[in-house]
Structure 1
Amino acid sequence: MWLCLEGLSVTGPLKDMDFSVQEGGGPRILHQFKLEPPAVSFRTSGEKAGIIDIEPRTGILYINGSLDWETQQVHKLQVESLDESGKTVKGPYTVTINVEDINDNPPEFNQTKYYGVVRQNSRPGKPFMYVHATDRDNPATLHAQLSYSILHHFPNPYDEMLFQIDNATGAISPSSYYLDPQKQDTFILVVSVKDMAGTTTNAFTSSVDVIITVKESLWKAPPIIYIKENSTQVHPVNISKVQSNEPGVIYGIFEKENLPRLPFSISENGDIYVTQPLDREERDNYTFFVVSKDNTGELVDKPLQIQVIVEDINDNPPVCQQDLTVIEVQENEKGGSNIGTVFATDMDKKDTLNSRLHFQIQSQEPEFPSDNLFYIQQDTGTLQLAGRSLSKRDSAKYFLKVLVTDPQFETICNVEVHVIDINDEIPIFKNSDYGSVTLAEDIPIGSVVLEIEATDGDEPATGSSLIIYQVKEGDPNNTFTIETDSETNRGFIRINKALDFETMSVYNLVINATNPEPLVEGVEYNSSSLTKLKVSVTNVEEPPAFQKPVYKTEVSEDIPVNTLVMTVEAYDPEGDSVRYSLEGDVRKWLRIDSATGQVYTASPLDRETEETYSVEVVASELSKVFLILHLSDVNDNYPQIATDYPTFFCYPVSGGERALIQATDADEQFFYSKFTFSLADEMNARNNWEISKFNATHAYLSLKHGNFEEKAYDVPIILNDNGKPPLENKVNLKVSICKCSSENSCFIEIDRQHSWPTTGQAIGILLGVLIIIGNCAVGVGQHRVEEQRGNWGGIRKLADKE
C-alpha cells in the first residue's frame, strides 16, 4: 500500500515500506517504526541524499529538507534494528520513497527567435515551419504537456488571422490564400506555449517572436499556349514550364473533360510537353490542370489551369456540298436573274484567309447558243443568267464545271442546269359533268367513289403539267378527298369522312384542276378546268348507341325495394325512340323502365348471396351494355358459434380446464373484426362456467369447479359483433363432459346389460366416436384424459360378432 503522511500519524513494526512524497515542501515526518525487544535502536543506509534519516531511539523516519523530482525520482533506503551491543535484530528492510512531481518548471523554447519563409498561394493548413518548446517536469503528467497558440499577429489586415498553429506540434501554416507580398511581405507572430496542456489558468507560460517573410509564389499558371496544328517537329515538344513553391514535389496532369487521350504530359521538373501533332479541325482548344503533390499523394499547391489554343493552317481543300448541284430555270426567266447557288465548304478556321473561297465557271456544255450564258459571283457562288432567257428548244440541260479555290487548294464542283417548260397550258377535263353516283351511308372511309381525268399540254412530268384536283364547292365538311396518280394524271375521289344520311343526303360537288407551278402571265384558268358530280346518300338502319361502355354503381345491400339505382341512356342515330329491357337478372333483383332506362330494385338485395351483381341492358333489341352493381355490406347477420368441431371436457374434471371457441359472422370483416363473448345470466351458467378473451375472434371457455356430471350441457353465451349498429345473439353452446381414451378423444361407453346393438348401430357409434377424435386436440387442451382401451375393444368385438 502507498502511504503519504504529513506528520507522525502511523506507527508499526519494522518492515518493507513504500512512500509517495511530493517534491519540495520542506522537513516532514514519514513514519515511526516500533522497537521490539531486544532491539533498542534503528539505523539507516542507502540513498538518503543527505536529508532523509531516522531518529535511532524513537524510530521516527523523516525528511529534513526538500526533495527534487528533476534531480532524483526514487530514493531507496535500508532500515534495521539493533540491540545494546549494536548487533542487527531485524532487517535490513527496504524503504522506497517515490518523489511526486509538481509543476515547478515553466516551458522553454529551443530558440530565442524563429524565422520562416512562406510562398504566396501556399495551401492553407500545410506547415512551412515549426516552433518547439520543452518542460523539465514529468512528461507523464499534465505538468509537461504543452499547448501552442498565437497571441498576436502583426500586422493583422484582415478580421481573421492569416496564420494558424497546431497546438500540439507547433506547426505553423497559412490559414487562407490571402497572402500577397505586394501588400505585406513581413509578419511577426507572438507564439505562446503553456504547460498543463493549457487547460488551467495557473499554468506556466512562455512566448517567442516568429518573423515570417512572404515571398512571391513560384506556382503560377503560364499564359495561354498557342500551338500550330499539324506540326512536323519531333514530338514530344516542350511548350511551357511550372514550378512549385515546395522542393521535391511530384507533378501530375488531369483533364477537365473526359477525352479518349490527353495529348500532353509533364516531366518531374515541371516541363509541359505536347506529345503529338494537333488537328484544329478535330479540336481547336484544350483545358487541363497541373497539380503538385508530396510523396504521400497530398496536394501541395492549388491546381493550375492550363489553356492551349490550336492555331489553324491551310490544310483543308474546298469541298462541294453536293456531288452534283441541280438547278431548274424556267424558259421565261429574265437575264440577270439569280437561278441558284453553288455551295462549298472549307474546314479551315472560319473567317480567315485559309477558308476564303473563290468561284469561277471553268466550262459550259453545250456552248450553244453561246459559251457565256451563265455568270457566277466569285465570293458567294451565286449563279445568274448572263444576259438572255434560256430556251428549251435550244437545249433542255446545261452542264457547268465550277472551279472553287482557297489560297492553296482547288476543287471542281459539277452543276446541271435544267431548262423548265413554262406553264402556259391549263388542265382541261374530259367530261364537264360526271353525272351522279349513289352511296350507302355506311360506305367505308377510303373507298373510291369515282375516277376523273383532265389533260394538260405542258411538258409531261413537270410542275407545269402535274394536275392537282380539289373539291371547290359542295363539300363544307371535307367529306371527300381527291388523290392524283402522278404518272397518269388521273384523279380518284375517295371518302374522307363517314357519310351520314341524317346530316346530309345530297352533295353537289364542283371540282377544279390546277397545276402546282403558277401560270405564266396572261394565261388564266377557266370553266374547262371545272367539272361537276352529284353524290346521293342512302339511309342504312343503325343500332342505338349507349353513352357509356359499361354502367357501374355501388349501393348498400339494405336499400328499400323500388329504389332508383341508376339511369341507362342510349340514343338512336335514326332519331327513333329507344326501348329498354334487362337480360340475365337471374335473382330478379332489378327492373327497368322500358321508356326512360331508369333501373330500380325489384326485391331485397343481399351481399352475402352475391357481392357483385351483373346484368345486361338491351336497347331496342339491338344493342347491349353491362350494368354492374357492387353491393356494400351492412351489419345484418347475427354472430354465431363456429360448429367446425365439438366442445368437450374429459371426465372426471378437476376445475380450471379450458376449451377454445370461435365466433363467426357472414358479414364483411369490417363489421365483426372484434367479437365480444359473455355468459348469459341463466341456467346457473356464471357459477359453473367462465369466459376469457383469447383474440378478436376466439375466447376460452373454462370450468369453474370439478363438480360436473358425465353428460351434455347447454352453456348460454351472448355474442356481440361490435358493428355499427352492433348485433347481439344468444346461443346455447353444446358442451360434453365425457370419458376420454388414451388417444385424447371423447369415449362413448356401451351399456352391456341391454341387448347387443346391430352391426349398423355399432358402426354408427364408431363413426360418432371417430368424429369426436378428429377434433380432440382443440377440445381437450391441457386437460387430463383417462385411458379407456377396454371399451374400444368392446366396440370392435361387437361389430365382428354381428
Structure 2
Amino acid sequence: MAVASAAPGSNFSKQLLFFLLALILFCDACKKISLQVPSHLPVDALVGTVNLKECLQSASRIQSNDPDFRVLEDGSIYTTHDLILSTERKSFSISVTGSQTQEHKVIEVVLAPRGKKLFERQERQKKDPVLKRSKRRWAPIPCSLMENSLGPFPQHVQQVQSDAAQNYTIFYSISGPGVDKEPFNLFFIDKDTGDIFCTRSIDREKHDQFPLYAYATTADGYAPEYPLPLLFKVEDDNDNAPYFETKLTTFTVDENCRSGTSVGKVTAIDLDEPDTLHTRLKYKILQQIPDHPKHFSIHPDTGVITTTTTLLDREKCDTYKLIMEVRDMAGQHFGLFNTGTITITLEDVNDNAPSFTETSYVTEVEENRIDVEILRMTVEDQDLPNTPHSKAVYRILQGNENGNFKISTDPKTNEAVLCVVKPLNYELHQSILLKIGVLNEAQFAKAPNSQTPAMCTTTVTVKIKDSDEGPECQPPVKVFQSKDGFPAGQDLQGYKAVDPETRSSEGLKYKKIKDEDNWFEINEDTGDLRTVKVLDRESKFVKNDQYNVSVVATDADGRSCTGTLVIRLEDFNDHSPQIEKEITICQNDKDFAVLQPEDLDGPDNGPPFEFLLDNSASKFWTIEPKDGGKTAILRERQNLDFNFYRVPIQIKDKRGFSARHILTVRVCDCTTPTDCKMKFSGDRDIKPPNVILGRWAILAMVLGSALLLCILFTCFCVTVKKTVKKCFPEDVAQQNLIVSNTEGPGEEVMDANILLPTQTSNICDTSVSVGTLGGQGIKTQQSFEMVKGGYTLDSNRGGGQQTLESVKGVGQGGMDTGRYAYTDWHSFTQPRLGEESIRGHTLSKN
C-alpha cells in the first residue's frame, strides 16, 4: 500500500506555507540550498528558512543580493512583492558577516518552481503507462495540514495504497479523531482509490494534530495489511494576536530614583505555536501621559520598564500612564499586535524640608504660671500629608537651659505647641528669647547630586508679666548636721522663706506640718526649731540617718509655700552589741550554737565584734568568731548532760564598747530545737556544769577516806585457815560508810545532808584461799550515796544528774547500780576536793 501527496489548494499564501514545510534541502552549508516553492509567490510570503548558525554562530549583518527577497535574523526568507516564477529555476545569494570575527560568507539559495516537476512527471506517465503505478510499501508518510485553509473543500490531503490491490479488490477506510471521534466528519476516504479528503478548515489552537489509522480490506472482510497509522499535523497560521495579561497594570516607583531603576515587567500571551515567529513578541511604549519629559523606557524583548531620568518629582506629577504595544513576528510591521495601559505611581520620599511660616514670634505669660499654652506655630511641607515625611518634630535649640518650656506637635494640625512647665520669675528675667528648629519624623532623603538642606529655625520672644506672688521656699529642701543624742531643750536654726517682692522674711508665719516623732517645736515668727526630745539616730522614724521636718510659710494674704528641713544625724557609739539570751544545743545534731549579735549603731561602730568568756565558763565552753567577727560559734569542750546552763559572755564592738550577757544554754536530747521538751523558765534553777563541794564536805570525805583505809588494812592482815561462810545480820552496819557532804554553817543545804545507805553490803567468807595477805580471801562490796545540791552517786536518783556511774562509764546494763568499790569512790572524789575547797572559800567571803 502506498501513500501519495495531494495537490495544494488555490490560495497562494496558504499553499506557500504548506509547500515550505514539505521540502527544505541543504546541499552544502554556506554553499547552496534548494527550496521547492509554488510558481506564484504573493507579497510578504514565507519562502523558506536557512540555518545561519551552521555558517556562523553569530551574525551581525544579513543581506540578500536580490531585492525581491529579504532575510530576517533568524534565517526566514520573505518576498518583498508578488512574484511569478517561470519554469526555470531562480537563484540568489545571502551574504552573512560575523559579529565578532567579521568573517564573511555567502549562502546560495535556489528556488525550484513546483509546476515544472509536475509537468515533467505527467509527460513521463503519458509516454510510459507503467510509470503510473509503481510498487510501494504499506508505510506512513508525514503529512501536514494548513490551519485556516480556505479550500476549496473537500480538499485532498493524502492517498494510501496497498500492494495487495494487485491480487485483491481492496477497500480503504480510516478511523480516529476527525473521523469517528471529535471533531466528527473532518476527514473521509475514497474507499476505492484511498484518497483522503478534508471537509473544512482547522483551528490549530484547538487541534494541533490528528492521529488516524488506515485500513485495507477485501470485499469479504479479509485484511491483507496491518492497520496503517497516519499522523496529520496542523501547521500554525499566525491568526492570534498577542495580548497583555491584564489590560490595566499599576506599578510604583520612588520619586527622585536613579536613572535605570526597574519599575516593573509587563507580560503578554500569544496562543500561536511557541518558539516560532508567530509568538516572538516585541514590546514598545507608544505614548507617555504626560508626555514630557520622557521618563521611562521598555526592553523590547523582556518587557521590563526602567526609568531614564532622575527628574521624577511627586510634588509635580504623582502618576504617569504608558500606552504599551506588543507585536508578534519579532515586531515586524506585518505582525499582529495589541495595546494596553500601564499606570505608574510615584512613591513619596522626604525630599522637602519643613519651614516655618514666620521668621519670628512674640508672646507673653504671667510669672509663676505653669502648664499653660503660650504659642502655636505652623510649618509648610510639600511632602505627602499625614506621613512621617511631612509630620513635624520641633526642638528648642536655645534659651531653655532652666527647663521652663516644653514644645510638642499637635497630631491633628501639625502645629508647634509651646508651653510653660516650670514657673518663670519676673524678678529674675523680664523676657526670654527662644530659638526653635523643626525637622520631619522621617530622615531627609536628598535627591541625587544635591545637598542636604539646613534645619529651618525661628525665634520666639517670651515676655514675662509681673504679678503679686506669695512667699518662696528656696531651696525646697535644706539640710543641716546634728550629732546623735543631741539633748532636748536646745535651739536649732529652722527653715527660712522669703517674700520675692521684698526679698526678706518679715511678716511670714511658720507652722509644722510634718514631724513624725514630735522631736521639735517651731517658733511661728522666725521658723527656728527647739528640741523637745533627744535626737536618736536609732529611732524607727530615722531613715538613712535622716529625720525630716516639713514647714509651711504663710504671708499676710494667706499665700504660702512649703519647705522641708532634713536633719542628718551623725552616728555616736551609744549602743552596745546585743544578743539572744536563750539558745538551744541539740546534741543529736551538733555540739555548738551560732551567736549573732546586733548593734544598733552604724557600721563604723558595729562589727567586727570581740567575744570573751569568763574564766569559769571557758573550762567547759569555747567561743570562736566567724564571718569576720559578725558572728561566733559557742561550742562544748565535752559532752554535757542534758540540762540548763548559765554562760557569762562579754561582747565588744569595733570601738571597744562592750556589754556583759548571761546566756541561758539549753543542752537537749533533740535533733531540732523545736523537738526539745525542756522549757525555758526564768525561775528555773540553772545547774552549774560541775559538782562543787564545800569545806565541811571536804573534811568529811578526808576523815571517811582515812577510816576506810584503816578498815581495809585490818582486813588484809587476817588469815583464814578453812573455808568459812559468814553472813552478817541485816541490821548490822557491816562496814558501810556514810559520807557527809555538809558545808560550813549549811547555807547551801536544802535537804537532809546525810541519807542512809540504799543497800546493805554483805561480807561473806565463801572459801579458803591462800594468798599474800595472810591466806584469807575477802570479797567486799560497799555502797555509798551522797546528796549535795541535787547531785548523787546513784544514777537512779534522777535523769540528767552527774553521778559516779556516769564518771566511771558504767551503764545500766553493767554492774549493780548503787554499789561501788572504794577505788571507784576514791577516783570520783579526789579531783573534786580542790574545786570544792575554792568554792567554799568564795562562799565564806560572801
TM bucket normalised to smaller: under 0.3
User: By percentage of residues, which structure has more strand?
Assistant: 1
User: By percentage of residues, which structure has more helix?
Assistant: 2
Larger Rg: 2
TM-score normalised to the size of structure 1? 0.27
TM-score normalised to the size of structure 2? 0.26
